[in-house]
Structure 1
């Protein structure tokens, strides 16, 4: 990777991550890969894009390792990761920064009275600005971001010009399943961002994720509880009445809650006849708030989850070991 200036301007000459300041891309990839499961291709693509000096939009549902990857990458590079939630209240002033009113009254406007927002902070520190729900941000805020993306610099009134450090990147995320309160991004926005679609992992990878995030499940339950939690969670994404199902986080919570319920009820093994009902109770707690029903559906989250439970444990006979 080549070293670039601290003020890569518009065009294709954006400075990649300077080699002397950071480990090699392969070593970063190898270290980050130990912290995530089943995302080798996506990790390679994200690393390649940001190392090439590109800004990036990650398009995919929640719970698909986007944040985990970015946290691990920035930790390896030793740079900050700043989070911003895109919504109608995200004004340019909130993302750029503002002058402290109390200090302005005492001292008048100056660079010293300016409180940097996440964009300015990320530019100065060479961090990643991670904007979740990017397509919910107002148009004037997106325009402010486009200036920083295209020019690697912004002008702040009464402060001056802020030049981005070489490692500054804008990383945006969008949920393709959510179109309520969102806006269609303009061609100029799409033209300045690379894009990567990240979908749910396969079943074996999600089982590995649950096993990793819930390592202390009782020995007598873990062998069945992990695959059961993953199976019912994945089924929420395919139910006809569900617009958006749960991510693997729902499977993690289902397994954890079920294990605690089993302890309360004195269930030590998965062949206990009370095990299926315990999983159903855990599903209601862990998944009912994570699934979003179709607007035309005449049902409830609890009814949907009960159907999924019955299909898993009653109709297919999956309540039997193995």
Structure 2
């Protein structure tokens, strides 16, 4: 199927089949998948804007696996220079052979262009301006000229995918109008409680009455970190997954084998401290600690409203 545009009914049918197969690899995210797939199938580059742990990478990996193309990761930061993005000549070979196309080592941008892959730049708005300008050329022309190497033409499936975290502006730069003009945009927020519980169950492997309670409690307290007044950014679903995994091992160590066992509440609090305390970011004006915030969330769940946490 041509990924530039849909010109025939056969192309449209193939795209719908793509969507159905990819959706089978995801938990929820039907709308986000459909919109992202529509954009990249139309030949467009896109920025996915949302907090960490909201399935952005999962969606992209599923699409590239379905298309049979690579997904190349780059972290946007001050060290991401144009040379690191484009590539460089091997210094040892240059000394022996002088500069030549044969001793050029492609960077992730050229690899993605030559292999027709997705170049996925996380924390896009942390990259230096001259690096973004290099990307603009590749996005606008679908080609790039490298000194002493020549012109590199992108394969038809080459895309630039960027991600940004709207809750984190420390160390970021404001993107220019020309950058925004080259990118489509999709906001990707946290999933529903039910979807997050399905994700945690799938990733943790927890089962049985005890496992089911841990999953429900972990998702509830993790979601509570996102709305606590002293927290500027709460934990993603990864925190809930780790809470269940740690709690499961603690249960084995302490001999807790039932959801209504006497030691379960304190066991769960200890798992929260390990799994969540490093994942929540407190407001700069908050005069508290991550541990105190988590204790408050735990008390809301297990002390003030114990019926919400009770099994069944």
Please give the TM-score of this superposition, normalised by the length of structure 1: 0.93
Q: Deviations over 1:256-301 (max 9, x none)?
A: 1101100111111101011111110000000001000001111111
Cα separation, 2, equivalents of 1:245 and 1:143: 33
Please show how residues 153-302 of structure 1 align to structure 2 within 5 Å: 153-215=143-205, 217-302=206-291
Cα separation, 1, equivalents of 2:209 and 2:243: 16
Match of 2:29 in 1: 39
Distance change (3 Å), C-alpha of 1:21 and 1:48: closer
CA displacement at 1:36 relative to structure 2: 1.2
Cα separation, 1, equivalents of 2:58 and 2:249: 26
Corresponding residue SS for 1:57: strand
Q: Is 1:113 aligned with 2:103? A: yes
Please show how residues 298-313 of structure 1 align to structure 2 within 5 Å: 298-313=287-302
Match of 2:58 in 1: 68
Cα separation, 2, equivalents of 1:168 and 1:202: 32
CA displacement at 1:245 relative to structure 2: 0.1
**8 Å CA contact 1:126, 1:167 repeated in 2:** yes
Corresponding residue SS for 1:24: helix
Corresponding residue SS for 2:166: coil
Match of 2:129 in 1: 139
**When the two structures are aligned, how many residues end up with a matched partner?**
310
CA displacement at 1:53 relative to structure 2: 0.1
Cα separation, 2, equivalents of 1:118 and 1:86: 12
Q: Is 1:26 aligned with 2:7? A: no
Q: Deviations over 1:21-74 (max 9, x none)?
A: 999111221111112111000000000000000000000000000000111110
Q: Deviations over 1:117-160 (max 9, x none)?
A: 00000000000000000000000000000000000010000000
Cα separation, 1, equivalents of 2:7 and 2:139: 18
- Could you say what the CA RMSD is over the residues aligned between the two structures, in angstroms? 1.7
**8 Å CA contact 1:220, 1:268 repeated in 2:** no
More helix by share: 2
Where structure 2 has 5 or more consecutive residues not aligned to the other structure, the ranges are none
Cα separation, 2, equivalents of 1:113 and 1:72: 34
